[in-house]
Amino acid sequence: MNLKSQETREEEKLIRLLVKNEQFENKKIVAQKVNLSINELDLLLRQLQNKGYKFCFHPHLGFQLESIPDKLNIPLMKAGLDNKIIGRKIYIFKSVSSTNDILLNISESKCIEGTVAITERQNQGRGRLGKNWASPVGGIYLSILLKPHIDFKRITIFNLIGAISVANAINSLYEIPISIKWPNDVLLQGKKLAGVLSEIRTLSDNTNILVVGIGINVCVDTDQLPQEAISLKEYFKKRINLITVIWKVLNCFEHEYNLYKNEKAGQILKNWRQFSTILGQQIRITTENEIFEGYVSNIDLIDGGLIIRLDSGLEKKILSGYVEILK
Ligand code: BT5
């Protein structure tokens, strides 16, 4: 696949300026700020209107961005990011097998940390252990490429980072009761709203890249999803702009990733606790080969593993599994 990114600097600069500013803008001042003549600015504004941006014009005050299109595009995507790392390079697709596959198979010369692949839909979206991830149009399907110098055992912490980023983003945008089910589920009203899948690829120089894939049900009708799923559209009974959610998720992700890089795993855990309902609970956990029951006493700060006290009194750390809370 040809990974072509569309870079239109003036457009990006203008959108960034308008997205960040919620007041009316004087055309002359805006034109100066983006290094365009007034005529060029008018032309650009018309082009943006054709792409679905809506402006409000006032005879004295100037103009204001009223709403952004609900269509993924790179300048708009970049305009809402405050990041140094995440979203440094962005690829947008209409349809792919899986955004994780796109980044896991990207050529080594393009393995830039913070690269993000986003698609409108996936035809082979996947969860853990080969499970399917329903990916119809209207959802968010994105993957983030990282180079965090980790060993394979620490991968679970990136599921937590992904889940915290989604929970934080949605909570700060809409203040709705979001929770995280260890290790990678984001729940709304006890139903699955989002999931995270972290995978590793080893490069020819023996270093690893990590790909964190995030799927969120935003504007999806629930008849296109498994029974236990929910979407923001179903919850709010109206359309939600995907881009606003992606901006927030990627900005939150960078925040959590910086905590990880600065060895502040304790803070990540604190953020996770805000949304988690599992600590102190009696659970049953089904791993690939075994089933355990016990009391959740903690999360391992190094690898994100769940520490449970078994009924025998022994403590056990589990890195991945399906959790049920026992009443
Ligand atoms: C996950 O796996 O929750 C990880 C999902 C990661 C999806 C993203 S999308 C971008 C990137 N590209 C990919 O191909 N994947 C990542 P797991 O915990 O194993 O949950 C899978 C289970 O969730 C399935 O067996 C279904 O029961 C349920 N499920 C499937 N599609 C769903 C959806 N859209 N919403 C909620 N639940 C779903």
CA of 60 to the centre of ligand 1 (A): 51
Q: What per-residue confidence (pLDDT) applies to 5? A: 39
The answer, yes or no, to whether residue 88 has pLDDT greater than 90, is yes
CA of 119 to the centre of ligand 1 (A): 15
- What's the pLDDT tens digit per position in 243-272? 999 999 999 999 999 999 998 988 998 999
Q: What per-residue confidence (pLDDT) applies to 71? A: 87
Task: Give the ligand 1 atom nearest the CA of 100.
Answer: 12
Ligand 1 pocket: which of 121, 133, 210, 227 to mutate (most atoms within 8 A of CB) = 133
Q: What per-residue confidence (pLDDT) applies to 120? A: 97
Place of tokens 């593993």: 305
Q: How confident is the model at residue 2 (pLDDT cuts 50, 70, 90)?
A: very low
Least trusted range by pLDDT, from 19-28, 106-115, 235-244: 19-28
> Do 182 and 194 form a contact (C-beta atoms < 8 A)?
no
Q: What is the mean pLDDT of residues 211-220?
A: 97
The answer, yes or no, to whether residue 275 has pLDDT greater than 60, is yes
Q: How confident is the model at residue 201 (pLDDT cuts 50, 70, 90)?
A: very high
CA–CA distance, 36 with 19 (Å, rounded to integer): 18
Task: Give the ligand 1 atom nearest the CA of 99.
Answer: 12
* Element of type H or E holding 65: strand 62-67
Q: What per-residue confidence (pLDDT) applies to 154? A: 82
Task: Give the ligand 1 atom nearest the CA of 195.
Answer: 3
Q: Looking at ligand 1, which residue's alpha carbon is closest to its atom 14?
A: 125
CA of 67 to the centre of ligand 1 (A): 30
CA of 195 to the centre of ligand 1 (A): 5
Q: Is the peptide bond before 183 cis (omega within 30 degrees of 0)?
A: yes
- Specify the DSSP class assigned to residue 221: -
Tokens standing for 145? 């490429």
Q: What is the mean pLDDT of residues 46-70?
A: 91
**Which segments within 81-207 are labelled E, that is strand?**
90-96, 116-122, 140-146, 178-181, 185-188, 191-202
Task: Give the ligand 1 atom nearest the CA of 185.
Answer: 3
Q: What is the mean pLDDT of residues 314-323?
A: 91
Q: Looking at ligand 1, which residue's alpha carbon is closest to its atom 35?
A: 229
Task: Give the ligand 1 atom nearest the CA of 135.
Answer: 34
Q: What is the mean pLDDT of residues 81-100?
A: 96
CA of 59 to the centre of ligand 1 (A): 50
Q: Looking at ligand 1, which residue's alpha carbon is closest to its atom 30?
A: 133
Q: What per-residue confidence (pLDDT) applies to 37? A: 92
The answer for residues whose C-beta is within 8 angstroms of residue 116's C-beta and 6 or more apart is 86, 87, 89, 90, 91, 142, 143, 144, 145, 250
| Percent with pLDDT over 70 in the chain | 98
Nearest to 127 by CA among 322, 324, 326, 323: 322
> Do 8 and 79 form a contact (C-beta atoms < 8 A)?
no
Whether this prediction's pTM lies above 0.75 is answered by yes
> Do 272 and 259 form a contact (C-beta atoms < 8 A)?
no
Q: Looking at ligand 1, which residue's alpha carbon is closest to its atom 23?
A: 133
CA–CA distance, 99 with 126 (Å, rounded to integer): 10
* Residues at CB less than 6 angstroms from ligand 1: 98-100, 122, 125-128, 131-134, 141-143, 184-185, 192, 195-197, 213-215, 217, 225-226, 229
Nearest to 296 by CA among 288, 286, 285, 307: 307
The answer for residues whose C-beta is within 8 angstroms of residue 157's C-beta and 6 or more apart is 260, 265, 268, 302, 303, 304
CA–CA distance, 266 with 216 (Å, rounded to integer): 26
Q: What per-residue confidence (pLDDT) applies to 47? A: 92
Helices 242-261 & 265-275, crossing angle to 10 degrees?
A: 140
Q: Looking at ligand 1, which residue's alpha carbon is closest to its atom 27?
A: 226
Q: What is the mean pLDDT of residues 184-208?
A: 94
The C-alpha angle 92, 94, 97, rounded to 5 degrees, equals 95
Mean pLDDT of the chain: 91
Q: How confident is the model at residue 151 (pLDDT cuts 50, 70, 90)?
A: confident
Tokens standing for 50? 């054709």
Task: Give the ligand 1 atom nearest the CA of 191.
Answer: 36
CA of 74 to the centre of ligand 1 (A): 25
Name residue 25's beta-bridge partners. Answer: 63
CA–CA distance, 202 with 151 (Å, rounded to integer): 11
Q: What per-residue confidence (pLDDT) applies to 102? A: 97
Q: Tally Cβ neighbours within 10 Å of residue 121.
A: 17
